Amino acid sequence: MSYLKFNKSELVNLEYSLAIEMLSTNRAGGYSSTTIVGCNTRKYHGLMVCPIEEFGGEKHVLLSSLDETIMQHEKAFNLGIHKYPNIYEPRGHKYIIDFEFEPTPSLTYRVGGVVLKKELIVVHNEEQILLRYSLLDAHSPTLLRLKPMLAYRSIHKLSKANLYANTQFKNIANGIASKLYMGYPALNMQTSKNSEFIAVPDWYYNVEYLEEQKRGYEYTEDLFSPGYFEMSIKKGESIVFSASLKEVAPTTLNQKFRREMTIRPPKNSFVNCLTNTATQFIMKKGRTTEIVSGYHWYDCRSRDTFLSLPGLLHHDLKTYKSVLDSISLKLKNGLFPDVIDTENPAYNAVDTPLWYFWAIQKYAEFAGETETVWKTYWKKMKSILESYKDGVNDGIAMHGNGLIWAEEKGVPKTWMNAVVDNIPVTPRYGYTIEVNALWYNAVCFSLELATKHGDKAFIKTWKDIPDIIEKNFMEIFWMPEKKHLADYVKNDGQNQRIRPNEIIATSLPYSPLNDESKSDVLKAIEYDLLTPKGIRTLSPKNPAYKGIYEGGTKERDTAFHQGTVWVWLLAHYAEAKFKLHGESFVPEAKRIINNFENDMNTRCICSISEMFNGDPPHEPRGAISQAWSVAAILSILYMIEKYEKKTGK
Nearest to 575 by CA among 311, 291, 357: 311
Q: What is the mean pLDDT of residues 134-154?
A: 97
Q: What would the DSSP string read from start to end of 319-346?
A: HHHHHHHHHHTT-BTTB--SBTT-SS--
- Check residue 12 and give its pLDDT: 95
Per-residue model confidence as pLDDT tens digits over 52-89? 988 988 999 999 999 999 999 989 999 999 999 999 99
Q: Give the per-residue pLDDT at 393.
A: 75
Question: What pLDDT is stored for residue 343 in this prediction?
Answer: 83
Which helix (H) or strand (E) segment is 68 a member of?
strand 58-72
Q: What is the dihedral of CA 284, 289, 293, 299, to 10 degrees?
A: -70
Confidence of residue 247 (pLDDT cuts 50, 70, 90): very high
Percent of the chain with pLDDT over 70: 100
Query: Taking a C-beta distance cutoff of 8 angstroms, is the pair 150, 180 a contact?
Result: yes
Tens of pLDDT, residue by residue over 576-626, are 999 999 999 999 999 999 999 999 999 999 999 999 999 999 999 999 999
User: Residue 225 pairs with which residues in a beta bridge?
Assistant: 202
- Domains observed in the chain: 8-262 (2.70.98), 270-647 (1.50.10.10)
Could you give the CA distance from residue 32 to residue 122 in angstroms, rounded to a whole number?
7
**What confidence score (pLDDT) does residue 649 get?**
65
- pLDDT score of 251: 97
For the cut 90, the answer to whether the pLDDT of residue 645 exceeds it is no
Is residue 286 predicted with pLDDT exceeding 90?
Answer: no
CB count in 10 Å sphere of residue 505: 26
The mean predicted confidence, pLDDT, of the chain is 96
Residue 307 pLDDT greater than 90, yes or no: yes
- CA dihedral defined by 556, 558, 560, 561, rounded to 10 degrees? -170
Residues 6+ apart with CB under 8 A from 126: 26, 28, 244
CA of 233: how far to CAs of 98, 129, 200, 392, in Å? 21, 21, 22, 66
Distance CA 240, CA 275 (A): 28
The helix or strand, by DSSP H or E, that contains position 586, with its residue range, turns out to be helix 586-594
